[in-house]
């Protein structure tokens, strides 16, 4: 192999390594954001249910599976 070919292989290998690490970091961060959003949604649902109860209203929900 010629030197430019080896240099290109090395550069692409380093770039792939960086992309893998960056993707792994972004996936972990995304998972934490998703868990946080799910928790906030559950909290919002509970607060809304309490508010409806205070007002004497009833929310018709789809049956849980």
Domain ranges across the chain: 1-56
Residue 3 to residue 40: CA distance in whole angstroms: 55
Mean pLDDT score, 32-42: 97
Q: Left if phi > 0, otherwise alpha if psi is -120 to 50, otherwise beta: which for 56?
A: left
- Report whether pLDDT(39) > 60: yes
Dump pLDDT digits (tens) for 4-18. 899 999 999 999 999
Whether this model's pTM surpasses 0.85: no
Would you say the C-alpha torsion 15, 19, 25, 29 has a positive or negative sign? positive
Write the DSSP string, the chain.
--HHHHHHHHHHHHHHHHHHHHHHHHHHHHHHHHHHHHHHHHHHHHHHHHHHHHTT-----PPP-
């Amino acid at each position: 192999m010629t030197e430019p070919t080896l240099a290109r292989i090395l550069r692409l290998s380093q770039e792939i390594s960086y992309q893998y690490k960056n993707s792994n970091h972004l996936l972990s961060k995304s998972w934490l954001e998703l868990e946080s959003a799910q928790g906030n949604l559950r909290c919002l649902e509970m607060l809304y249910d309490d508010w409806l109860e205070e007002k004497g209203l009833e929310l018709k929900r789809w049956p849980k599976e």
